[in-house]
Structure 1
Amino acid sequence: MSVIKVAILGFGTVGEGVYRTIHSHQEELTAVLGKEVEVAAILIKNKNKEREISNAILVTDSFDEILQLPQLDVVVEAIVGKEPAVSYLKKAINSGCHIITANKEMFAHHGKELLKLAEDNNVSVGFEATVAGGIPVIQTLRQLLKINRVHQIQGILNGTSNFILTEMREKKQSFTEALLLAQENGFAEADPTNDVEGFDAFYKTMILSRIAFGEEPNWKDVELEGITTITSELIETAEKLGLRFKHIASISKEGSQINAIIKPTLVDKSHPFYHVEGVQNAVNIQSDIVGGITLQGPGAGMFPTASAVIEDLVFVCQNDTNNKISRPVANSFGEKKTELKEYWLVHGLTKKYLNTTVSFIQDVSDETYIINGTKNNVEQIFSLHKPLCYFPIIGEFKTLINA
């Protein structure tokens, strides 16, 4: 029986998880692929560090040494940062290897380039692990886009932020206390900026946009806000209204325009994200035929991410060429719709600053209340008066004034 030889770049949480999963699921992989899967090499930084790796495997700090192997079929990249990851993957593609990556920052910046290079070299690219850990959102989109027209994707795409917001609500902790607990549990890095300021979710959103719509919005036009403005008082206020804070990334297309927003949002009990807690991720896909689909599961960790990589391993080995996704044409979603009015929770601005373009709905607490208006109307008011914060409310929200 022939063998599929794999190199793993990086032996941190993801890399080790992939290595262990290949060994523990060898029987299943062989049944699906008709070939054994063998880890031929592992790229590490420190060759002197003790690791539980078979002596039969090449362990090296030189990627060029890996490329010199007599047979290499797939390169799995599980390191951090744009470089040297993208340079390694370009070399792998040019050497005729399929590639798989779990690196969302690198793939958000260089994915289009890598996909084109892979197409030119008749190899495949797997990147399921770049978005939402073990949730098979990219494979689901690949399947849906054969016929369905996706018009909106919403997601809780960062487990660290979701964990912090959950701890703040359930345990009445401050942001600082919840962040420290996330770091102690290994859910947040020593420098948590990418997670709590929304950059991690931003990279994942750009990848999803490329899959769903074939292109991305201008990065500078994306509304990006992290969770650092969320206080215990705001969470308590929301809870009294039957609402929960979630950090939600939303990407949609109307006509030829793609809109992306990544910010804290309030959801009510009718919304599928209301019960997504802790480090869980969730993705809701809205399309024209099937309607709404929600996927939920662990967004990070050794084996959830390894699961996505292993599924990609099957995908790339079963596709001789880079799998092209059928995408809707630019105008298939109709003309840009009239902007609808939404409910908003506003904090830090007195009622005297409101104007007739928005409707005052309900007092919640001192300088905190609910209004109704379009996003454009609300932003125009707040750009002049600089409130502390304001948040959209999504779901079938029913105000207490009508109770």
Structure 2
Amino acid sequence: MSTIKIALLGFGTVGQGVYQTVHSHQEELSAVLGKKVEIAAILVKNHQKDRDINEGILVTTDFREILQLSELDIVIEAIVGKEPAFSYLKEMIKRGSHVITANKEMFAHHGGELKILAEKHGVSIGFEATVAGGIPVIQTITQLLNINRVTKLEGILNGTSNFILTEMREKNETFQAALKSAQQKGFAEADPTNDIQGFDAFYKLMILSELTFGRQPDWDSAWREGISSITREQVLEAKELGLRFKLIATVEKSGESIIASVRPALVSPSHPLYAVEGVENAVSIYADIVGKINLQGPGAGMLPTASAMIEDLIHAVKPRIIERSFRLENDVKEVFQQKKTKQTWLMIQKEALEISRDNTVLVSKIDSSKGLYIINADERTVKSFSERNGRANFFQILGEYHLKEQETPSLAFFN
């Protein structure tokens, strides 16, 4: 039986997961591929560190040793940061090796360039693990929705933030206490900035945008907001209303434009993301024929991420390549008119509500003593009012939300 030789760039949590899976599932791999899969080399940062790696495998800190191997079919990259990962993958593509990556920051910035280079050299590039760990979002879009026009993607793409918000609600914890718990359990890094400020989810969203719509929105115009300013009091107030805080990533096509946002929102029990708790991830795919598809599962971790990369390995060896076509005209008007229509928001304003008479917005007082109001307004009006009034916080409510009998609508005016 012939052999498929692979190299691992990086031997942290993800790299170790791939290594273990190749050995534990060798029989299944051989049955599917008709070939044995062999790890030929591993790139590490510290050569002196003790590792349980079989003899005969090249373990090196020098990338050039791997680049010079005479036989190397597939390179699996699991390095943190844009560099040196980007440079390494370019070199591997040029030498004719298929590449698979879990590096969302690098791929969000350079994925387009790598795809072009891979096509030029006749190799494939797998990136399922960049978006939602073990959830097959990429393969669902590229392999199963070939005729459907995907119009919108909405999801929870960062398990760390979702865990923190769940802990704050279920255990009545402060943000800092929930973050510390996430770090102790290994869900958050010592420097959690990428997770709690929305960068991690944003990178993943940009990868999905390019995959789905053929391009990314302007990064500077996209709304990116993290969860670090959300307080325990806000979480508990939302809980009393039957709502849950989630960090929601959304990208959708509006005419010729691509609109993207990562920001905290409130979800009602009717919304599919309401029940996504802890470190779980989920993605809702909206398409014109099938309607809405919901995918949920582990968004990170050793084995879920390894699962995505091993499945990419299968597709690299036994490709089923289908190019998505992109329609740039305004062909889905009904879906995207919602940006111009009014949406439901929870407004939290502890101080007296100042009102003027320029734009009419329906305000429902839930509990004026707590400064809680439900408003119906379009996004532009909300952003304008928020910029003028730093004392108010606005969170869009996703899913159906019905006012209780004691909550009386009243007409107010915002400028």
Q: What TM-score do the two structures reach when normalised by structure 2?
A: 0.94
**CA–CA distance in structure 2, aligned partners of residues 242 and 311 of structure 1:** 39
Out of 197-206 and 350-359, give the one that drifted further.
350-359
- 1:334 Cα shift? 3.8
Indicate conservation of the 8 Å contact 1:358/1:378, yes or no. Answer: no
Match of 1:389 in 2: 393
Deviations 1:45-94 (A, max 9, x none): 11111100001100001111012112100000001000000000000000
Match of 2:198 in 1: 198
Match of 1:325 in 2: 323
5+ residue gaps in structure 2?
A: 408-415
Deviations 1:165-223 (A, max 9, x none): 00000000000000000000000000000000000000000000011101010000100
**CA–CA distance in structure 2, aligned partners of residues 327 and 363 of structure 1:** 47
Match of 1:351 in 2: 353
Q: What TM-score do the two structures reach when normalised by structure 1?
A: 0.97
Match of 2:107 in 1: 107
Q: Does 1:380 align with 2:381?
A: no
**CA–CA distance in structure 1, aligned partners of residues 322 and 75 of structure 2:** 20
Kindly report the root-mean-square deviation, in angstroms, between the aligned alpha carbons of the 2 structures.
Answer: 1.4
Identity %: 57
**CA–CA distance in structure 2, aligned partners of residues 26 and 57 of structure 1:** 16
Q: Pick one of 342, 358, 365 that aligns with 1:362.
A: 365
Report the residue type matching 1:330 in the other structure.
L
- 1:333 Cα shift? 2.9
Match of 1:70 in 2: 70
**CA–CA distance in structure 2, aligned partners of residues 170 and 317 of structure 1:** 45
Indicate conservation of the 8 Å contact 1:145/1:325, yes or no. Answer: no
Indicate conservation of the 8 Å contact 2:134/2:298, yes or no. Answer: yes
Indicate conservation of the 8 Å contact 2:281/2:297, yes or no. Answer: yes
3-state SS, counterpart of residue 50 of structure 1: coil
Match of 1:83 in 2: 83
5+ residue gaps in structure 1?
A: none
Match of 1:267 in 2: 267
**CA–CA distance in structure 2, aligned partners of residues 205 and 307 of structure 1:** 21
**CA–CA distance in structure 2, aligned partners of residues 215 and 290 of structure 1:** 23
3-state SS, counterpart of residue 235 of structure 2: helix
**CA–CA distance in structure 1, aligned partners of residues 171 and 364 of structure 2:** 30
Indicate conservation of the 8 Å contact 1:359/1:371, yes or no. Answer: yes
Match of 1:229 in 2: 229
Using a 3 Å threshold, how does the CA distance of structure 1 residues 354 and 160 change in structure 2: closer, same or farther? Answer: farther
Indicate conservation of the 8 Å contact 1:254/1:333, yes or no. Answer: no
**CA–CA distance in structure 1, aligned partners of residues 356 and 370 of structure 2:** 16
**CA–CA distance in structure 2, aligned partners of residues 398 and 204 of structure 1:** 33
Out of 41-50 and 141-150, give the one that drifted further.
141-150
Out of 139-148 and 271-280, give the one that drifted further.
139-148
Indicate conservation of the 8 Å contact 1:250/1:262, yes or no. Answer: yes
**CA–CA distance in structure 1, aligned partners of residues 126 and 378 of structure 2:** 39
**CA–CA distance in structure 1, aligned partners of residues 201 and 325 of structure 2:** 23
**CA–CA distance in structure 1, aligned partners of residues 405 and 189 of structure 2:** 43
**CA–CA distance in structure 1, aligned partners of residues 305 and 289 of structure 2:** 30
Indicate conservation of the 8 Å contact 1:223/1:260, yes or no. Answer: yes
Match of 1:185 in 2: 185
Deviations 1:148-179 (A, max 9, x none): 00001001000000000000000000000000
Q: How does 1:4-403 map to 2 (within 5 A)?
A: 4-319=4-319, 323=321, 325-335=323-333, 337=337, 339-348=340-349, 350-353=352-355, 355=357, 356-364=359-367, 365-401=369-405
Report the residue type matching 2:355 in the other structure.
Y
- 1:402 Cα shift? 7.6
